[in-house]
């Protein structure tokens, strides 16, 4: 089967098998795990310590906000199965973040550049190291194998998901905890600049944050859905080509005559014209971004949310980088 991203050169030699999803969770700017709540961009970021106490059962005093969000997001996902579920299984952790620990980097570098010499904090520097969050989550989960921190701007989550799917398929791991976390860091204007946003390149929506996770692996009883395909293309491929691919994926994975909703999840670089295109082609639009705001790994929020809340659906998530590279994720949620 030919997918739309198999343009001239970037076709992988082998495609990955579908990855079953055992659990999914999402946390957005309101810091309410798996719940919808109102939030305002100008009040962000909210204090995360209540969430930490709720999820972790104790404070994380020396950790920065990014690390807390990663830990809370990962553990919220695992609440669906309990930590014991991981025992005896080879588990991989794939943490995706577009911007990482900016919350720690900024105050640290401000101290470095302080006129007359500041006092850069060693704890802040340690927290600012990019894989500190993955270490904390791995320690909580007692995971010692594959623990990777992956960053690919606004396609970070898709890149991590692609890698996790490959590791699962080949039996390198039994379970993959894959998440996307990015946090709101002032100022809003600089935050937009960090995401390379300008009006022509994204839907104008408030900036947000989130920590959203999927647990992938084979468990027929707990399965809430599947990730069929994660793939990438350059800027040449448009919605027409994608539509043919979506049809092919649908026909391959969904039995004929099955009553399923087809849901399009638009990333923040997908413009409103394209939303109309998918509506015209019979897709429902699940615009999840007003719930989580724009952030590099918002795709994780959208995909986790549809997996939890929309049973019996075939879904497609699409987003792109400002440079044109794009990613698409196809999956389905189980009927309940």
Partner 1 sequence: MNDGGIYVRGWGAVTSLGWSAPAAARRLIAGDVEPAAACTSSHLVNRAFKAYEVAYGGHPLDKATAMLWSALDEAFAMAGLSAGDIAESSLFVGTTGGLFIRNEYEFTESVRRNPDQDAPPISCRNRGPGEVADWIAAQYGIRGMALTFSMACVSSSHALVVAADLLQKGKIRRAVIVGFEPLLNMTLHGFASLLLFDDDQCRPFCAKRAGMQIGEGAAAVILDRDKSSSAKYRLCGGYQYNDIKSMTSAGIDGMTVCNVVRQTLTDARLSAGDVAAVKAHGTGTRDNDLSEGRGLVKLFQEKLPPVISLKGAVGHTLGAAGAVETALWLSCCEEGMIPRSFGFTEIDPDIGFAPSQQNIPARDGAYLFTFFGFGGTCTSYLILKG
- Which residue lies nearer to partner 1 by CB, 115 or 255? 115
What is the rounded distance in angstroms from the CA atom of residue 250 to the CA atom of residue 252? 5
The one among 79, 258, 272, 323 contacting partner 1 by CB under 8 A: 323
Site for partner 1 in 46-85 (CB under 8 A): none
The one among 17, 41, 45, 135 contacting partner 1 by CB under 8 A: 135
Nearest CA to 8 among 231, 162, 233, 327? 233
Interface segment toward partner 1; rule CB under 8 A; list 9-17, 42-50, 244-252, 261-269: 9-17
Residue 20 tokens read as: 């079953």
What is the rounded distance in angstroms from the CA atom of residue 223 to the CA atom of residue 225? 6
- Which residue lies nearer to partner 1 by CB, 193 or 251? 193
The one among 34, 76, 185, 319 contacting partner 1 by CB under 8 A: 185
Concatenate the DSSP letters of all residues of 22-55 into one string: EEEE---TT--TT------GGGPSPP-HHHHHHH
Contacts of 84 (CB under 8 A, 6+ apart): none
The one among 18, 72, 77, 150 contacting partner 1 by CB under 8 A: 150
Backbone region of residue 5 per phi and psi (left: phi > 0; alpha: psi in -120 to 50; beta: other values): alpha
Please, what is the minimum distance in Å from the beta carbon of residue 102 to partner 1?
A: 6
Please, what is the minimum distance in Å from the beta carbon of residue 279 to partner 1?
A: 30
What is the rounded distance in angstroms from the CA atom of residue 172 to the CA atom of residue 92? 9
What is the rounded distance in angstroms from the CA atom of residue 62 to the CA atom of residue 84? 26
Q: Contact residues for partner 1 (CB under 8 A)?
A: 7-10, 12-14, 16, 93, 97-100, 102, 105-106, 108-110, 112-113, 115, 120-122, 125-126, 128-132, 134-135, 138-139, 142-153, 155-156, 159, 162-163, 166-167, 170, 172, 185, 190, 193-196, 232, 234, 296, 321, 323, 325
């Amino acid at each position: 089967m030919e997918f739309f991203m198999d343009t001239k050169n970037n076709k992988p030699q082998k495609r990955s098998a579908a990855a079953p999803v055992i659990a999914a969770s999402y946390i957005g700017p309101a810091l309410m795990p798996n719940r919808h709540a109102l939030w305002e961009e100008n009040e962000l970021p909210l204090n995360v310590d209540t969430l930490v106490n709720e999820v972790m059962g104790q404070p994380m005093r020396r950790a920065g906000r990014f690390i807390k969000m990663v830990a809370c997001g990962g553990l919220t996902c695992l609440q669906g199965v309990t930590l014991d579920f991981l025992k005896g299984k080879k588990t991989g952790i794939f943490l995706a973040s577009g911007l990482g620990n900016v919350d720690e980097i900024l105050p640290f570098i401000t101290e470095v550049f302080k006129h007359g010499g500041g006092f850069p904090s060693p704890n802040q520097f340690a927290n600012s190291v990019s894989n500190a969050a993955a270490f904390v989550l791995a320690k909580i989960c007692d995971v010692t194998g594959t623990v990777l921190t992956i960053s690919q701007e606004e396609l970070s989550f898709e890149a991590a998901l692609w890698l996790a799917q490959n590791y699962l398929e080949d039996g390198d791991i039994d379970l993959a905890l894959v998440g996307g976390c990015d946090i709101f860091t002032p100022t809003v204007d600089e935050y937009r600049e960090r995401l390379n946003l300008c009006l022509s390149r994204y839907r104008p929506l408030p900036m947000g944050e989130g920590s959203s996770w999927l647990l992938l692996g084979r468990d027929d009883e707990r399965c809430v859905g599947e990730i069929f395909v994660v793939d990438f293309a350059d800027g040449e491929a448009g919605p027409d080509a994608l539509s043919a691919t979506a049809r092919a994926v649908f026909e391959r994975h969904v039995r004929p005559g099955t009553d399923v909703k087809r849901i399009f999840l638009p990333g923040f670089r997908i413009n409103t014209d394209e939303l109309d295109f998918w509506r015209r082609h019979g897709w429902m639009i699940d615009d999840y971004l007003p719930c989580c705001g724009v952030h590099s790994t918002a795709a994780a929020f959208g995909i986790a949310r549809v997996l939890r809340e929309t049973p019996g659906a075939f879904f497609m998530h699409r987003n792109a980088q400002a440079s044109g590279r794009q990613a698409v994720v196809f999956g389905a949620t189980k009927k309940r």
